[in-house]
A and B are shown apart, each in its own frame.
Chain A
Amino acid sequence: GESVGLHLPTLSVQEGDNSIINCAYSNSASDYFIWYKQESGKGPQFIIDIRSNMDKRQGQRVTVLLNKTVKHLSLQIAATQPGDSAVYFCAEILNSGGYQKVTFGTGTKLQVIP
């Protein structure tokens, strides 16, 4: 059959505003979650991570919130800049015996309006 590319949800924000990107994950047993940033034509770039025993973690201008009750993850970017424009996706990691099973979300396209 014909494959159709994903239509990514897009979030448009004014430069300087805060951005919130959401992700729903599937496996309640996942140990660890990562947010990645992917610019056009490049590989995924690590932004921030959070372990399943935490509900919040802060980095430089970024905060990740984890709600295990509803299996929801969010990425907050403060004072969004044009260089933040990219596709953002979450990954859930299940560790088992030293090995990892990684499942990626579909992604959200962030457009920063100067």
Chain B
Amino acid sequence: EPEVTQTPSHQVTQMGQEVILRCVPISNHLYFYWYRQILGQKVEFLVSFYNNEISEKSEIFDDQFSVERPDGSNFTLKIRSTKLEDSAMYFCASRTTMGAADTQYFGPGTRLTVL
């Protein structure tokens, strides 16, 4: 069964460094999402992406964040200058426009630790 994959599974970085989190959505999906989950808290929406542009973003997704689909398979989240409070699990999700079009399928997540 096709699934969303994410790399790395765990990223440790120093405060102020740039990080890029990578996702490979399910191949026939056209909508892509990033979410984060701070330890012990609920999942929070960051950004949605369709047709090579951001379709919606939350107030969390400030100028330090950017997303990109550099090729036909990868979807990346970049944090330019990480802060301690960026430490969280980051989930990528994707959905199709056909069939069960409303369901987002989540990847296993990347745990980001900012020291």
Contact = CB atoms under 8 A, between A and B. Distances in A.
B91 A43 contact: yes
Given A6-B41, A49-B103, A107-B42, A44 B91 contact: yes
Interface of A: 3, 5-6, 31-32, 34, 36, 41-46, 49, 89, 93, 95, 98-107
Interface of B: 4, 31, 33, 38-45, 48, 50, 55-56, 85, 91, 95, 97, 100, 102-109
A44 B4 CA distance: 12
Contacts of B39: 5
A3 B85 CA distance: 10
Given A44-B91, A93-B102, A102-B45, 20 more contacts: A3-B41, A5-B38, A5-B39, A5-B41, A34-B102, A34-B103, A41-B109, A43-B106, A43-B109, A45-B106, A46-B106, A49-B102, A89-B42, A95-B102, A98-B50, A99-B50, A100-B48, A102-B33, A103-B45, A104-B43
Contacts of B109: 41-43
A45 B91 CA distance: 12
A44 B95 CA distance: 14
A6 B4 CA distance: 27
A45 B39 CA distance: 18
22 contacts: A3-B85, A5-B38, A5-B39, A5-B40, A31-B102, A34-B103, A36-B106, A42-B108, A43-B91, A44-B43, A44-B106, A45-B106, A49-B100, A89-B42, A93-B102, A98-B97, A99-B48, A99-B55, A100-B31, A100-B56, A100-B102, A101-B45
